[in-house]
Amino acid sequence: MRFFRLMAIGLALLLLAGAILGTACAGAKGEQGPKGADGVGMKNIVNNGDGTFTVRLSNGMEYTTDDMTGPQGEKGDKGDTGLTGAGIAWQDDWSSSTTYSEDDAVGWLGSSYVSKQDNNTNHVPTDTIWWDLWVAKGDRGDQGIQGPPGPSMIVAMGFIIGDGTIGRSYNITSCSWNAAEERYEITLTGINYITGRYVTLVTPTTGYVYGAGYESDSGKLCVVLIGSSGNPTVSSFSFMVLETP
């Protein structure tokens, strides 16, 4: 019993000593130190195009490097001479009897060829020992779509004076006044005139003629002019004959 009492007293003493020691070891809270200065960063880098670079910092300062261009490389080999140089001399279509020089150009079967050497005689352009193909003939295009019929074509026209004299004409061979039939008979050059085959326009040129008509007879254009009395009359007129579509 005494043993347990001594243990309890010892434990209490240990707890008390620990509390006192902890209080002594605890220090006061320290004060916050001063804020450090902001750092300097890189804003951008500019390529000056002359082998140097400029580095710009966030504080406004900038620094330019020395020329960083590398050494010039070795010169490359010379390329082959093209066929379209200024020395090409066009010689029209190829002829077996013509002697061609180097760089003479000819046409043959729709393509063009250039002579590769001098003293080039009677060698067809397809002979690759003597000729180089310059421009090849293109393929034939597809046939286009047929369009609508074109406008009527004038086949004859003219101005006739009252007595049948031809004043102005296009494809008119002759004109005469047929008194018995009271009409003008006009022969058109190379045209067998048939009324239904052509479009015909007749225009009297005097005010006292009130109408005009036309017909065909023996391949001629026959024109009748109607006067104020309603009967056929003699007067000047113009006409035009069009080919139907």
Express each pLDDT in 24-35 by its tens digit: 444 455 565 555
- Adjacent-strand bridge partners of 175: 186
CB atoms within 10 A of CB 192: 10
CATH for 89-135, options being 1.10.12.10, 1.20.1260.10, 3.40.50.2020, 2.10.10.20: 2.10.10.20
Mode of pairing for the β-strands spanning 104-108 and 89-93: parallel
Residue 193, SS3 per DSSP: coil
Q: What is the pLDDT of residue 13?
A: 40
Q: What is the pLDDT of residue 10?
A: 43
Domain boundaries, the chain: 89-135, 153-243
Q: What is the pLDDT of residue 152?
A: 64
CB atoms within 10 A of CB 51: 12
Burial class from Cβ neighbours inside 10 Å (0-12, 13-18, 19+) for residue 176 reads: middle
H or E segment at 127?
Answer: none
Q: Cβ contacts of residue 233 below 8 Å, gap of 6+?
A: 208, 209, 225, 226, 227
DSSP class of residue 233?
-
Express each pLDDT in 46-95 by its tens digit: 777 777 777 777 777 877 777 656 677 788 777 666 554 557 899 999 99
Query: Does the pLDDT of residue 40 top 90, yes or no?
Result: no
Q: Cβ contacts of residue 61 below 8 Å, gap of 6+?
A: none
Q: What is the pLDDT of residue 16?
A: 43
